[in-house]
Amino acid sequence: MTTPAADLADPIAASAATLRATGRAPRIAVVLGSGWSGLTGWIEDAVEVPYAELPAFPRPTVGGHAARVVLGRIGPHEVVLLAGRKHAYEGGRADSMNGAIRTLAALGVQILVLTNAAGSLDPAVPPGGLMLITDHLNLPQLSPLWDERDDRRFVDMTDAYDPTLRARALAASARQGVALHEGVYAWVVGPQFETPAEIRMLRTLGARAVGMSTVPETIVARHAGLHVLGLSMVTNMAAGMATQTLSHAQTLRQAQAASERACAALAAIIQALQ
């Protein structure tokens, strides 16, 4: 089961009103995955609102997800950052971020930048590397739109990750001297890591990175009319591709090590968006 947009109307309206009361009018939003929270340090004139004050927002239970909204400016752009997300493995639902994403649309956001920590399926994209998401594989075939009640639920996912935004991201990264790989992101539910056999399957299907988030948010964002850009920070080689033992603690350590460089690149990308 998922919660239809119509049933979220009141919490969304209340959440949007609270954010609007800050006096900010952002057109760009960023969901900060593990390792990306350092982007808040790039915000000028920051205003913070806890998720607890926003009835449409989730209550994340994973380490590294702060559960607060930060509004302000990065370069010329008014932005809103969501520091933390709720994953499908936290309750078994694909619609955990529906209220938050639809609140952004109600606030007037037009561009949604989704970030995550991911495992690499390609030795050419090592830990610490950044990957621009060109497309995704919804391996669980779960949808945040299952209980929508009209034909708008049939969302075209061609170019789900906006080609114009991707081109601007690549150009901005090149100007910064930062290598930005490109590839397909495979979504798995988790919370357990994948087996080596599953990784071999995903490589055969064309995935270059794998993770436990992002895809449901992309689907609901496209349903809400937002343009999406997706970025993965590689924190480990996937199961069977290296000798390290995989753990969330190891993911957070590698994410922290790569955070400063990744967030500087993301700040440059945001300044290049329109």
| Max CA separation in the chain (angstroms) | 51
Tell which wins on pLDDT, 4 or 25: 25
CB 235 within 8 A of CB 118: yes
Q: Report in angstroms the alpha-carbon separations of 257 from 193, 234, 235, 251.
A: 21, 11, 9, 10
pLDDT in tens, 257-271: 778 889 999 999 999
How many of the other CB atoms lie within 10 Å of CB of 53?
13
Confidence of residue 256 (pLDDT cuts 50, 70, 90): confident
pLDDT for 250 equals: 74
Contact (CB, 8 A) for 236 and 244: yes
CB 210 within 8 A of CB 239: no
Among 26-40, 51-65, 209-223, name the one with the lowest average pLDDT.
51-65
- Output the pLDDT for position 65: 56
What values do phi and psi take at 73, rounded to 5? -125, 140
**pLDDT tens-place string over residues 60-115:** 776 655 799 999 999 999 999 999 899 999 888 999 999 999 999 999 999 999 99
- Residues 173-222: pLDDT tens digits? 999 899 999 999 999 999 999 999 999 999 999 999 999 999 999 999 99
How many Cβ atoms are within 10 Å of 220's Cβ, its own excluded? Answer: 26
Residue 189 three-state SS: coil
Q: Determine the average pLDDT of the residues in 234-249.
A: 82
Q: How far apart (Å, rounded) are the C-alpha atoms in residues 52 and 14? A: 12
Domains of the chain: 5-272 (3.40.50.1580)
Q: Strands, E, within 176-267: which ranges?
A: 180-187, 207-211, 227-237
Q: Judge whether 237 and 123 are in contact, CB under 8 Å.
A: yes
Q: What is the pLDDT of residue 1?
A: 61
Give the 3-state secondary structure of residue 266.
helix
Question: What are the pLDDT digits (tens) for 140-180?
Answer: 999 999 988 888 999 999 999 999 999 999 999 999 899 99
Q: Does the pLDDT at position 251 exceed 80?
A: no
Kindly state the tokens that stand for 71: 């509004």
